[in-house]
Structure 1
Amino acid sequence: MKLTILGCHSATPRDNARPTAQILEMKGHLFLIDCGEGTQMALRKNRVKFARIKHIFISHLHGDHVYGLIGLISTFCLLSRDADLTIYGPKGIKELILIQLKLAGVYTSFSLRFRESEINTPQILLEDDSLQVTTIPLEHRIFTHGFLFQEKPGDRHLDIVACQEYEIEKAYYRKIKQGHDYVKENGEVIPNTELTTDGDQPKSYAFCSDTVYKEDIVPQITDVTALYHESTFLKSHEHLCEKTKHSTAEQAAKIAKKATVGTLILGHYSSRYGDYELFRKEAQEVFEKTELAMDGKVFEF
């Protein structure tokens, strides 16, 4: 699982401070999460192949999370893209994009689909044999949800030595890896646990965009491999959180601690701060394994 931060700052874009956008690589998929201004330039800078992006997830319709989307879609058209594209987001995302395409006289060369949500309970947006993507209900000034990306359990690891000792033909290996016992010709059953070891631990990533401190998300994100949680303010400006519906670094760390996540990644910093290490320091007083999102930074799990 690989996460590339394309942008991680709040409000308006600035030199070397792009608004929110991320690329998540998981199980062969390349997901774009949020799409603030300048996202396509950041994609080029980080050498991300546009054609591999087939699913885009938008947390809410504030400009610093969505204003780069129409530009990216227009570029897809100019490049004569033919791969299908599905956009997941709050109700209104379809209208927002289609009216801009209509007024600009732009026609897509590919199938453009929308999956809108307006329900404040977790909804499965995407599922295949290897993973599942679910919404995380958040609380902001407008309808907002985050996203939970979860790998499904994979095959067990084959114990080649054990299989050879039992003289098992290779044709049976796949079924054994899938968890089946092996039955010899004489009817003797060899338990799967004697032929395999546990498979890799499924990885998971929770993206919690703009939100106030919201403890009721903890059960849904418990034990995730990594959690990105907005941290617009430091504790000294906590009084601004209720008005703006944002969180502090300390509050993000409290969520991470309660959810026993593997790694906390902070982001969505207010432009009032110049030293981002203050965010890490504040969060680590509550949750030690805290990292800072930075434009262009890559996390591998």
Structure 2
Amino acid sequence: MKLTILGCYAATPRTITNPTSQVLEMNGHMFLIDAGEGTQVQLRRRKLKFQRINHIFISHLHGDHFYGLIGLISTFMLLNRQADLHVYGPKGIKEVILLQLRLSNSFTSYKLYFHELTSKESEIVFEDDKVIVRTIPLDHRVYTNGYLFETKHGERRLRIGAIEDLGIDRCYYQKIKRGGNVTLDDGTVIENKDITYDPEPTERYAFCSDTYYSEAIIPIIKDVNVLYHESTFLDSEEHNTQRTKHCTAKQAAKIAKLANVGTLVLGHYSTRYNDITLFKKEAETVFSGTILNADDGAIFNF
């Protein structure tokens, strides 16, 4: 699981900061999560092979989370993309993108699918044989979802030594990997657990931005490996959180602690602050686990 932060600041882009966008590489997929202004520039700057992106997840329709989407869609067209592109986001995302394409007399050379979301309950929005993605309903000024990405259990792992000692033919390997028992020529049944190891554990990544402090998300993100949670303000500005429907670094840390997450990644910093290490310091007073302070261009391998 690899996370590349393309942008992690709130509101407007600056020469040294970019609004929210990140790439999650998981089980062979390259997912784009949010697409603030300048996303495609950041993708090029980080030398990411963004033609691999087939699924884009937009949290909400505030500009610092989706203004870069139309540019990326247009660039894919100019690059003669042929692969399908799926966009997941709030109802309205299709209308705003298609309006821009229509008024600019543009079209896509590839199939563009929109999956518009309206539910206020967590729901599965994407699933294949490797990964499942669910929404995380958030409390913001407009309809907003975070996203929970989870790898599926793979096949069981073979204990090659034990299998060879029993003389089991290779033709049974796939059956064994899928959890099946094996019957030897003399009728002896070999239990699967005696010739395999458990599959690799699943990996779970939760993306939560933007949101007011809400413990309602804890059952959804419980025990995730990594949580990215917005932390727009420092504690001295907590009085602004209710009006803006955002969080402080300490509040993000409290969610991480209550949810027993492995790693907390902070982000969505207000550009009023010049030193983002202060966010880490405040969060660490609440959450004693690993705190990673995301900045534009940061890469995390989990």
Please state which band the TM-score falls in when normalised by the shorter chain: over 0.9
Paired residue for 1:62?
Answer: 62
Q: What CA distance in whole angstroms lies between the structure 2 residues aligned with 1:262 and 1:16?
A: 30
Pair 1:106-2:118 in alignment: no
Residue of structure 2 in register with 1:37 after alignment: 37
- Which residue in the other structure is 1:251 paired with? 251
Specify the alignment match of 1:300 in structure 2.
301
Rounded to whole Å, the distance in 2 between the matches of 1:177 and 1:77 is 42
Cα distance in structure 1, aligned partners of 2:51 and 2:15:
27
Q: Does 2:59 match 1:28?
A: no
SS in structure 1 at match of 2:11: coil
The residue matched to 1:250 in structure 2 has which SS? Answer: helix
- Return the alpha-carbon distance in structure 2 between the equivalents of residues 167 and 197 of structure 1: 18
- What SS does the aligned partner of 2:296 have? coil
How far did residue 186 of structure 1 move?
2.1
Q: State the secondary structure of the residue aligned to 1:205.
A: strand
Instruction: After superposing the two structures, state which structure 1 stretch, 172-181 or 51-60, moved more.
Output: 172-181
User: Is structure 2 residue 164 aligned with structure 1 residue 146?
Assistant: no
User: In the alignment, which residue of structure 2 is the partner of 1:49?
Assistant: 49
- C-alpha distance in 1, partners of 2:112/2:249? 37
Moved more, 177-186 or 289-298: 177-186
CA distance, structure 2, for counterparts of residue 283 and residue 158 of structure 1: 43
| 1:248-287 matches, cutoff 5 A | 248-287=248-287
Match of 2:96 in 1: 96
Instruction: Return 5+ residue gaps in structure 2 as ranges.
Output: none
1:127-177 CA distances to partner (integer Å, 9 max, x unpaired)? 011110011000100000000001111112111110011111111112112
- Is 1:200 paired with 2:215? no
| 1:50 Cα deviation after fit | 2.4
The residue type paired with residue 167 of structure 2 is: E
For normalisation by structure 1, the TM-score amounts to 0.99
For residue 130 of structure 1, what is the aligned residue in structure 2?
130
TM-score of the aligned structures, taking structure 2 as reference length: 0.98
Shift of 1:211: 0.1
C-alpha separation in 1, matches of 2:194 and 2:50: 45
Same amino acid, percent of matched pairs: 58
Report Cα offsets for 1:192-218 as digits up to 9, x if no partner: 111011221110100001000010100
SS of aligned partner of 1:142? coil
- The Cα of 1:100 is off from its aligned counterpart by 0.4
**Partner residue in 1 for 2:72:** 72
Secondary structure at 1:175 match in 2: helix
Q: Please give the alpha-carbon distance, in whole angstroms, between the structure 2 residues aligned to 1:186 and 1:40.
A: 63
Amino acid at match of 2:238: E
Tell me which residue corresponds to 2:292.
Answer: 291
Structure 1 residue 21: Cα displacement:
0.3
Report SS of the residue matched to 2:73. Answer: helix
**Following TM superposition, by how much is the alpha carbon of 1:179 offset from its aligned partner in structure 2, in angstroms?**
1.3
Give the residue type in structure 2 aligned to 1:173. Y
Matched position secondary structure for 1:61: coil
User: Could you say which residue in structure 1 is the equivalent of 2:11?
Assistant: 11
